[in-house]
């Protein structure tokens, strides 16, 4: 039998539905792959072998009884360790939640189960999703399968590495400032940040509530669309969920076409700090769009140059408030409760022991930005920049249908290179942050390997809010054209593990 | 705008309920100073006539029907508690001895 871990999610679902292969065989193949390579990659924090096999058996039994199967029946998926999973540990990459077993499922996990997806386990991440390399995980870094000495991006580096290493065809991520798109770019995979409010946040451990958005990670554009369609939609348990149907992303992914499409290249996202090979591959891909019939123009969005600064005030401010719930009283770690310390002291001792450096930095930064006397200059100004960025997008989308840029300024950097230089680390999200601040939809698709280091480069495509289908139409057209040129999917050039 | 001192970091840590060690104060003071210097540039473009945006969606008072539905059992709600007693979360002392 062919290697089941190399199939796409779409192929796997079809083969299981037609009876060509069983869900149990598919699950076992992926669990075996995880066993063989995850010691090196460290994409997973928890592997739910029993749960996965039980679900796979359930799918096979349902099929044998002739019952209707869910759209991704039997397809394995990995879940970022930020989504609550009933009965399965959820640590959010932090010591403060080590050993915590949530008593409920997040909405997206419930939807995966209803779609008959087989959940393999929970993936590694920067603690509380704060980071761009997965090195801030309290449980050790994840390696990039293209080069295990380099980062797989972050915060969702476990999810991007798992799909790159063929440990799962699909993974769930969350994107607050680029945590789905940036890992996708540096691993040569596809990652989508849906429109803010397009996917429920219920059961996600909150980092920055006005920016956080769950989305799909996959090896192909169609697979990402299939997962997006399953997890998207209104949820009354999330008051910021949009009460409108999800655009038909699957149809869009099956009908890649850019003929007549107006594409704007963001002029602010190039120049100093951008790796030459990244810009070269992005320029070639823009040229490819032109060859495919798109009308390409340059578009200036001057406020984007302030997006990073605004983000590193808004996200820390919201997180300093959100993380106040980790007070050692109701769940999670408790340190110093020996009868000599007050509740308040126990809270402070627990947070000191349970949070890593980046989380402490951001909580203090947010506390500073929101404090009396500094609020207007910092948080208030950042909110105004958010308005200016939204206006830049509105102006741009008056002229073009989608915007494009590099997803990241550089390819994957070596593990350890930026860990003690927060500002250098933050620059990895330079191009992805504006879409979080404005709440629109964005995708990263592979556009080749940088000539100087042979590592993947991602192109970012940005569409207006609720035009997520547009991303998939463009992404699918590029994917088909690239593969026609390369003769194979980009991931086939990755070294075997 | 002014930089951030070691004493200010200690104050922030207290406000944020973080019992930082001395060496952490030194380490974070330098890093936070760098970060604050970089993010302070937001004030360059934030004119008085620009309204603030706090959220990407213009939402107010999102309501759902107030109906009784199944929820967590007391046992489930307490399942992650560091300590519990009589179906309640047990916490360290909140008020002083006297």
Q: What single string gives the DSSP state of each residue in A385-402?
A: HHHHHHHHHHHHHHH-SE
Contact across the interface for B54 and A383, Cβ inside 8 Å? yes
Average pLDDT of the residues in A68-79: 96
Q: Is the pLDDT of residue A371 over 80?
A: yes
Identify the active-site residue in A55, A80, A122, A306: A80
What residue ranges do the domains of chain B occupy?
Answer: 1-30
pLDDT tens for A170-192 read 999 999 999 999 999 999 999 99
A343, A352, A437: residue with CB nearest B19? A352
**CB distance A1 to A135 below 8 Å:** no
CA gap A61, A18 in Å, rounded? 14
Annotated active-site residue A155? The verdict is yes
The alpha-carbon gap from A148 to the nearest alpha carbon of chain B, in Å, equals 28
CA distances to A6, A8, A77, A170, A252 from A221, rounded to whole Å, are 15, 10, 16, 11, 10
Length of chain A, please?
497
Task: Please report the residues numbered 99 through 158 in chain A whose beta carbons come closer than 8 angstroms to any beta carbon of chain B.
Answer: 100-104
**CB distance A478 to A459 below 8 Å:** yes
Task: Please list every residue in chain A whose beta carbon sits closer than 8 Å to the beta carbon of residue B11.
Answer: none
The alpha-carbon gap from B81 to the nearest alpha carbon of chain A, in Å, equals 4
Pick from A396, A413, A414: nearest CA to A405: A396
CA gap A62, A213 in Å, rounded? 33
Task: Please list every residue in chain B whose beta carbon sits closer than 8 Å to the beta carbon of residue A363.
Answer: 16, 18
Its sign, for the CA torsion A37, A38, A41, A47, is positive
What residue ranges do the domains of chain A occupy?
Answer: 4-256+438-493
Average pLDDT of the residues in A244-252: 97
CA gap A182, A133 in Å, rounded? 9
Average pLDDT of the residues in A261-267: 98
CA distances to A91, A260, A379, A396, A401 from A297, rounded to whole Å, are 45, 12, 34, 11, 11
Contact across the interface for B46 and A380, Cβ inside 8 Å? yes
Q: What is the predicted pLDDT for the residue at B58?
A: 83
Contact across the interface for B62 and A240, Cβ inside 8 Å? yes
Give me A193's structure tokens.
Answer: 């940040």
The alpha-carbon gap from B45 to the nearest alpha carbon of chain A, in Å, equals 7
- The 3-class SS string of B34-69 reads HHHHHHHHHHHCCCCCCCCCCCCCCCCCCCCCCCCC
Average pLDDT of the residues in A224-238: 97
Per-residue pLDDT of chain B (98 residues; tens, 9 = 90+): 457 899 999 999 999 999 999 999 999 999 999 999 999 999 998 888 999 999 998 888 888 889 999 999 999 999 999 999 999 999 999 887 65
A333, A342, A360: residue with CB nearest B18? A360
Q: What is the DSSP string of A229-281?
A: HHHBS--TT-TTS--SPPP-HHHHHHS---TT-EEEEETTS-STTS-HHHHHH
Looking at domain A4-256+438-493, does it have CATH number 2.160.10.10?
A: no
Contact across the interface for B18 and A384, Cβ inside 8 Å? no
For the purposes of burial, counting CB atoms within 10 Å of the CB of B57, is it exposed (0-12), middle (13-18) or buried (19 or more)? middle
Task: Please list every residue in chain A whose beta carbon sits closer than 8 Å to the beta carbon of residue B57.
Answer: 196-197, 240, 242, 439
CA distances to A47, A78, A79, A265, A496 from A121, rounded to whole Å, are 4, 5, 6, 38, 23
CA gap A155, A147 in Å, rounded? 18
CA gap A118, A31 in Å, rounded? 11
Task: List the single residue in A with minimal CA-CA distance to B10.
Answer: A364
Instruction: Provide the percentage of residues in chain A whose pLDDT is more than 70.
Output: 100
**CB distance A319 to A208 below 8 Å:** yes
Mean per-residue pLDDT over chain A, rounded: 97
**CB distance A29 to A3 below 8 Å:** yes
What ipTM describes this predicted complex?
0.94
How many cross-chain Cβ pairs, A to B, lie less than 8 Å apart?
A: 179
**CB distance A173 to A214 below 8 Å:** yes
Contact across the interface for A103 and B41, Cβ inside 8 Å? no
Task: Please list every residue in chain B whose beta carbon sits closer than 8 Å to the beta carbon of residue A100.
Answer: 80
Task: List the single residue in B with minimal CA-CA distance to A334.
Answer: B82
Q: Checking DSSP bridges between strand A214-218 and strand A456-463, what pairing results, if any?
A: unpaired
Annotated active-site residue A94? The verdict is no
Q: What is the predicted pLDDT for the residue at B59?
A: 82
Task: Please list every residue in chain A whose beta carbon sits closer than 8 Å to the beta carbon of residue B77.
Answer: 103
Average pLDDT of the residues in A191-200: 98
Identify the active-site residue in A159, A179, A320, A435: A179
The alpha-carbon gap from B73 to the nearest alpha carbon of chain A, in Å, equals 9
Give me A467's structure tokens.
Answer: 């035009």
Annotated active-site residue A80? The verdict is yes
Identify the active-site residue in A106, A137, A155, A444: A155
In a 13 Å sphere around the CA of A149, the CA atoms on its Cβ side amount to 2
> If you ran DSSP here, which 8-state letter would residue A413 be given?
P
């Amino acid at each position: 039998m062919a290697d089941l871990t190399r199939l796409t999610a779409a192929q796997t679902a079809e083969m299981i539905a037609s009876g060509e292969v069983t869900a149990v065989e598919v699950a076992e193949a992926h669990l075996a792959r995880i066993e063989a390579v995850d010691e090196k990659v460290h994409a997973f924090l928890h592997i739910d072998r029993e749960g996965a096999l039980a679900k796979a058996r359930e799918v096979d039994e349902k099929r044998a009884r002739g019952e209707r199967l869910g759209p991704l029946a039997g397809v394995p998926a990995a879940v970022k360790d930020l989504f609550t999973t009933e009965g399965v540990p959820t640590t959010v990459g932090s010591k403060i939640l080590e050993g915590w077993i949530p008593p409920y499922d997040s909405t997206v996990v419930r939807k995966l189960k209803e779609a008959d997806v087989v959940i393999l386990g929970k993936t590694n991440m920067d603690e509380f999703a704060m980071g761009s390399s997965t090195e801030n995980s309290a449980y050790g870094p994840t390696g990039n399968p293209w080069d295990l000495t380099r980062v797989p991006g972050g915060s969702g580096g476990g999810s991007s590495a798992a799909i790159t290493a063929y440990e799962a065809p699909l993974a769930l991520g969350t994107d607050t400032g680029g945590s789905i798109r940036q890992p996708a770019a540096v691993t040569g995979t596809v990652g989508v940040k849906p429109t803010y409010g397009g996917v429920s946040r219920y059961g996600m451990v909150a980092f920055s509530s006005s920016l956080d958005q769950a989305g799909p990670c996959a090896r192909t554009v169609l697979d990402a669309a299939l997962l997006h369609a399953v997890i998207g939609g209104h949820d009354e348990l999330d008051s910021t969920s949009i009460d409108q149907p999800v655009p038909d992303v699957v149809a869009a992914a099956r009908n890649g076409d850019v003929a007549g499409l107006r594409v704007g290249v963001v002029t602010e996202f190039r120049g100093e700090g951008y790796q030459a090979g990244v810009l070269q591959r992005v320029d070639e891909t823009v040229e490819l769009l032109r060859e495919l019939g798109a009308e390409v123009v340059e578009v200036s969005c001057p406020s984007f140059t302030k997006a990073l600064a605004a983000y590193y005030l808004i996200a820390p401010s919201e997180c300093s408030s959100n993380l106040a719930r980790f007070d050692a009283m109701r769940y999670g770690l408790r340190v110093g409760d020996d009868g000599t310390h007050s509740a308040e002291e126990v809270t402070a001792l627990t947070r000191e022991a349970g949070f890593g450096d980046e989380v402490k930095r951001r909580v203090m930064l947010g506390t500073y930005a929101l404090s009396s006397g500094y609020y207007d200059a910092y948080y208030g100004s950042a909110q105004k920049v958010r308005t200016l960025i939204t206006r830049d997008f509105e102006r741009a989308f008056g002229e073009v249908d989608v915007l494009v840029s590099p997803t990241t300024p550089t390819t994957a950097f070596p593990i350890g290179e930026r860990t003690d230089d927060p500002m250098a680390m933050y620059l990895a999200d330079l191009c992805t942050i504006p879409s979080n601040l404005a709440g629109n939809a964005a995708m990263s698709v592979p556009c080749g390997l940088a000539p100087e280091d042979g590592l993947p480069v991602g192109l970012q495509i940005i569409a207006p809010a609720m035009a997520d289908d547009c991303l998939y139409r463009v992404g699918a057209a590029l994917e088909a054209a690239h593969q026609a040129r390369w003769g194979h999917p980009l991931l086939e050039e990755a070294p075997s593990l | 705008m002014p930089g951030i001192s070691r004493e200010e970091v200690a104050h922030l840590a207290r406000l944020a309920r973080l019992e930082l060690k001395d060496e952490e104060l030194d380490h974070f003071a330098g890093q936070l100073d760098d970060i604050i210097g970089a993010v302070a540039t937001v004030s360059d473009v934030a004119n008085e006539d620009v309204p603030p945006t706090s959220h990407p969606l213009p939402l107010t008072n999102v309501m759902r029907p107030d109906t009784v539905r199944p929820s967590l059992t007391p046992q489930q709600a307490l399942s992650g508690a560091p300590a519990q007693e009589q179906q309640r979360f047990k916490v360290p002392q909140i008020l002083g001895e006297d």
